[in-house]
Structure 1
Amino acid sequence: MLGVLAIIATLIALMYFAYKGVSVLVLAPILGMTAALVAGEAPPLHALSTQFMPAAAGYIQSYFPVFLAGAIFGKLMGVSGAATAIADFVAEKFGPERAIAAIVVATALLTYGGVSLFVVVFAMYPIGASLLKKADIPKRLLPGAIALGAFTFTMTALPGSPQYINTMPTVYFDTDIYAAPILGIIAAAIMFFGGVTYLNYRADKLRAEGEGYGDHDEGDLHEEDDNIPSFGIAISPIIIVFILNFALANWWFKRPSVIDKYKSVGGSINGTWPVIVALSVAVVFVLLAMKKNIPNRNQEVFDGSVGALLPIFNTASEVGYGGVIKSLSAFSTVKSGVVNMAIPSIFKVGFSTTLLAGIVGSSSGGTAIALEVLSEDFLAMGIPGEVLHRVMIVAAGGLDSLPHCGAVITLLSVCHLTHKESYKDIAVNTIGLPIIAALVISVFYLTTGIY
């Protein structure tokens, strides 16, 4: 009982203090040790050294190259004026009143093209900030717009999404990434149109109250419109990332000769390699093609590199906390409680998955646990694997975005905003709408049998 109490109490404390702006770098290890102390299963320092640190270090080991390349890319896109040029083009073609929709669509295209969620955040920040600044829309809506494009319908709902979470159920349910396309499209429409409508409503309301873009530290943005590259040059790095990532992920790293080469040295293909290579090539392109737009290239690359550190260490600290929680025997009790919930079949699939995602602060983490623990029970319900696949991951994109979510903390850090300023809009788009979408497609399937 004390172990369950420790999980619940520290999780609530983590969300509360993260929302209040307390550094997760300090908060997560303290609460992880507190959970171990209250549960009485391991001395706090032992939990810090043997559960927290390996989990945090493992995350950094896996994702630091992605964060580093993404941060440098985003920095150079901003200071070179490329983001400003793209924003100018979009504003001219679509008008300032469509700035929010333009950010969401641009983010969605990158995500659906296979660019990882964290990289999209770095790439879209300077473009989105420039667009909102030109339209004089409050900057605090930017994280909500990027989150809508990256963390919702393109991640979990649209059939064929290459994001990792959409591949996870395929092994358990014998499906593919296009599973239940009708349910996926319905869910995607709910999230996209609902999110854009909400953000536009918020923008109109805030501007009616006299709030504009606001005064912010814009060191990552290019301020002078008279020294920016052409739109063709500015958009080229984005196209390079899109095409190279797709080609490497779907062709080069799937060639038998390449796979065998890594197997021969006892290794395997790492899923982050395509986007790391694509970003690196794009960075070199920016440095060469936009040389005259970046007066101090060495300094900007250095600043971009440093900019990767806080986001990845914040996220790794969250992962470390999750490592402690998952090591507690009480976590098995929590999982068992979720498994034994007495609710209708299809709703149990969605509710249990989103609840587990909320506990660990990760949609893919929650899905992994749900698949490992519950997949056989789900299949025994007689529900088609395609339906299970789509309902599970749409639901996983719900409570995963609570204030302690690593992706949310990274997004806010990159945008130089706080939970207090922007979390409400993130939550509506990445918690409220995905849960509604999961409920709607569940009811739709139950009433029509169509998927």
Structure 2
Amino acid sequence: MLGIFGIILSLGLLMFLAYRGITVLILAPLLAMLAVLFSGDVPLLASYTEVFMVNFAGYAKAYFPLFLLGAIFGKVMDDAGAAKSIAHFITKKLGKDKAILAVVLSCGILTYGGVSLFVVAFAVYPIAAALFREANIPKRFIPASIALGSFTFTMTALPGTPQIQNAIPMPFFGTTAWAAPFLGLIGGGVMFGGGLTWITFRSKKAMAAGEGYGNHPNENIKDMDQSNLPSFAAAILPIIIVLGLNFVLGKFYFGNYDGAYLEQYGTSIDKVKGIWSLIIALVVSIVVAIIFFKKNLADVKDTVNKGAIGSLLAIINTSSEVGYGNVIKTLGAFALVKSAILAIPGTPLISLAASTSILAGITGSASGGMSIALGALGDIYLQKAVELGISPQAFHRIAAMACGGLDTLPHNGAVITLLGITGLTHKESYADLGMCTVVIPLGATIVAIIAASLGVV
């Protein structure tokens, strides 16, 4: 019982102290060692150097290229004005009377194309503010609109998305980014439709009660110079390349690739084909974007360098969370936790979703929570998939969707950053943001589990 208490205390402190602003680079190893002390059945220093750091390095080895290339691609699209060009084109076509839909679609297209969530938030916010002000929609609904387009269906559900949350399950289940396309479309449709309906209903109700955009004296938004933006056709091309090339490589090239030589590296083509496809697609898209947008980039070297440096904190934070999870996994008390998770009645897809979602909520990180869950239980779920005849693709998609629910509880870093960008508070905007990024995605995951149980993949 003392070991269980140590795990619960460690997880509780991780969530609380991360919310208070202490970096997980410090928290993860310290709190992992705290759980080790309470457990008393594994050596302390060996748990740090031989478990925490080994798994930290293993995660960085597996996923650093995706973090690096994704950050560079996003920075190029941002500095060149391509992200703003896409958002402006969509908003212009839809008009101010469909401001909420325009913001959601703008964010959705950008994140589905591989642009990072934070870049999208910075790029779309000024346009969203102008649209909402012109339509007199309360500003407090902007965070929910941006989050719906960036943090939900394009991050975890839609097949092919190059976001890291969709890449993490690939080596565990031997899948690609296009795994379980119909499940993804079903889940994504529930998230998009449910979220849009909610924000529209809530904003109309507020406006009917006499609430307008509001007075925001500290709002400092510069007017956008549209004359220097790349054309929509040029701006959308790198995104099309990411999605298209990723699909072709994963499905047709690496899908038929003889990777027998990979046995000497302790892996197989099934485990790396998804990551290899995504790496090549992002590299090609970065090169194309730089060529197309060279005149829009003040300093290509500076843009690439800043993108690369910006990827470091993200990969190190997530690697620390993975190291933490793997230390917890070695503790004797965790066997009881694992048994409780696996004993959840019904299809193993339910226990996979539950463990992933809970850990994402505790860590405040979709990628961190899923990495911990799959690191601890991924091999068991793959075995169950084979035994029960459930497609590994279904496990991939359910894990990805489940990580995008409780991750955006109030202590989540992306939530705090988004509210900071928009100049709003949790009190003003979190109720609607939470409905769109927590409640509705959890519902979408349940719908997808039911569909998968009926054989939909």
TM-score (norm 2): 0.74
Q: Which moved more, 1:394-403 or 1:282-291?
A: 394-403
Report the Cα offset of residue 315 of structure 1: 1.3
Distance 2:121 2:169 in 1: 23
Letter of the 1:78 counterpart: D
Question: How big is each residue's C-alpha offset from its partner over 1:257-287, in whole Å with a ceiling of 9 and x where there is no partner?
Answer: 5x35656887644222222222222222222
Partner of 1:272: 275
Partner of 1:47: 47
Distance 1:441 1:266 in 2: 33
Distance 2:49 2:29 in 1: 10
Q: Does the 8 Å CA contact 1:75/1:300 hold for their aligned counterparts?
A: yes
| Aligned-CA RMSD value | 4.5
Is the counterpart of residue 150 in structure 1 residue 149 in structure 2?
no
Distance 2:220 2:320 in 1: 27
Partner of 2:319: 316
**Partner secondary structure for residue 42 of structure 2:** coil
Q: Does the 8 Å CA contact 1:353/1:395 hold for their aligned counterparts?
A: yes
Report the Cα offset of residue 59 of structure 1: 1.2
Distance 1:403 1:316 in 2: 17
Report the Cα offset of residue 155 of structure 1: 6.2
* Residue of structure 2 aligned with 1:210, choices 211, 214, 220: 214
Q: Does the 8 Å CA contact 1:14/1:404 hold for their aligned counterparts?
A: no
Letter of the 2:154 counterpart: A
1:281–1:390 distance in 2 versus 1, CA, 3 Å = closer
* Mapping 1:120-139, distance limit 5 Å: 121=117, 124-125=120-121, 127-129=123-125, 131-136=127-132
**Partner secondary structure for residue 286 of structure 1:** helix
Report the Cα offset of residue 200 of structure 1: 4.3
Distance 1:128 1:316 in 2: 29
Q: Does the 8 Å CA contact 1:229/1:290 hold for their aligned counterparts?
A: yes
**Partner secondary structure for residue 308 of structure 1:** helix
Partner of 2:78: 78
1:203–1:82 distance in 2 versus 1, CA, 3 Å = farther
Distance 1:290 1:186 in 2: 36
* Mapping 1:26-425, distance limit 5 Å: 26-96=26-96, 98-102=98-102, 104-105=104-105, 121=117, 124-125=120-121, 127-129=123-125, 131-136=127-132, 140-141=143-144, 142-154=146-158, 165=169, 178=180, 187-200=187-200, 208=212, 210=214, 215=219, 223-256=224-257, 259-260=259-260, 268-269=268-269, 270=272, 271-341=274-344, 345=346, 349=348, 351-361=350-360, 362-363=369-370, 366=373, 372-373=379-380, 385=390, 394=398, 397-398=401-402, 401-403=405-407, 409=413
Distance 1:266 1:36 in 2: 30
Q: Does the 8 Å CA contact 2:151/2:437 hold for their aligned counterparts?
A: yes
Report the Cα offset of residue 304 of structure 1: 1.2
Gaps of 5+ in 1: none
1:425–1:23 distance in 2 versus 1, CA, 3 Å = farther
Report the Cα offset of residue 61 of structure 1: 1.0
Q: Does the 8 Å CA contact 2:401/2:445 hold for their aligned counterparts?
A: no
Distance 1:277 1:40 in 2: 46
Partner of 2:136: none
Report the Cα offset of residue 128 of structure 1: 3.6
Partner of 2:438: 431
1:396–1:153 distance in 2 versus 1, CA, 3 Å = closer
Sequence identity of aligned pairs in percent?
32
Question: How big is each residue's C-alpha offset from its partner over 1:127-169, in whole Å with a ceiling of 9 and x where there is no partner?
Answer: 544542442456644344311123454269xxxx986659977
Letter of the 2:153 counterpart: G
**Partner secondary structure for residue 282 of structure 1:** helix
Letter of the 2:440 counterpart: L
Report the Cα offset of residue 75 of structure 1: 0.9
Distance 2:455 2:72 in 1: 45
Letter of the 2:152 counterpart: L
Distance 2:22 2:291 in 1: 40
Question: How big is each residue's C-alpha offset from its partner over 1:203-254, in whole Å with a ceiling of 9 and x where there is no partner?
Answer: 6759747277975899xxx953221111121112112212222222222223
Gaps of 5+ in 2: 133-138, 361-368
Q: Does the 8 Å CA contact 2:36/2:42 hold for their aligned counterparts?
A: yes
Report the Cα offset of residue 62 of structure 1: 1.1
Q: Does the 8 Å CA contact 2:159/2:185 hold for their aligned counterparts?
A: no
1:227–1:74 distance in 2 versus 1, CA, 3 Å = same
Letter of the 1:135 counterpart: L
Partner of 1:12: 12
TM-score (norm 1): 0.75
Q: Does the 8 Å CA contact 1:33/1:48 hold for their aligned counterparts?
A: yes
Distance 2:254 2:395 in 1: 30
Q: Does the 8 Å CA contact 1:80/1:290 hold for their aligned counterparts?
A: yes
Letter of the 2:231 counterpart: S
**Partner secondary structure for residue 333 of structure 2:** helix
Distance 1:42 1:397 in 2: 34
Letter of the 2:443 counterpart: I
Distance 2:275 2:384 in 1: 32
Q: Does the 8 Å CA contact 2:69/2:283 hold for their aligned counterparts?
A: yes
Letter of the 2:229 counterpart: I
Report the Cα offset of residue 74 of structure 1: 0.7
Distance 1:445 1:246 in 2: 22
Distance 1:30 1:123 in 2: 31
Distance 2:351 2:152 in 1: 23
Q: Does the 8 Å CA contact 2:405/2:442 hold for their aligned counterparts?
A: no
Q: Does the 8 Å CA contact 2:10/2:31 hold for their aligned counterparts?
A: yes
Letter of the 1:286 counterpart: A
Distance 1:92 1:15 in 2: 41
Q: Does the 8 Å CA contact 1:33/1:47 hold for their aligned counterparts?
A: yes
Distance 2:339 2:389 in 1: 24
1:73–1:167 distance in 2 versus 1, CA, 3 Å = closer
Question: How big is each residue's C-alpha offset from its partner over 1:88-134, in whole Å with a ceiling of 9 and x where there is no partner?
Answer: 1101112245455445556666777xx67xx6536745554454244
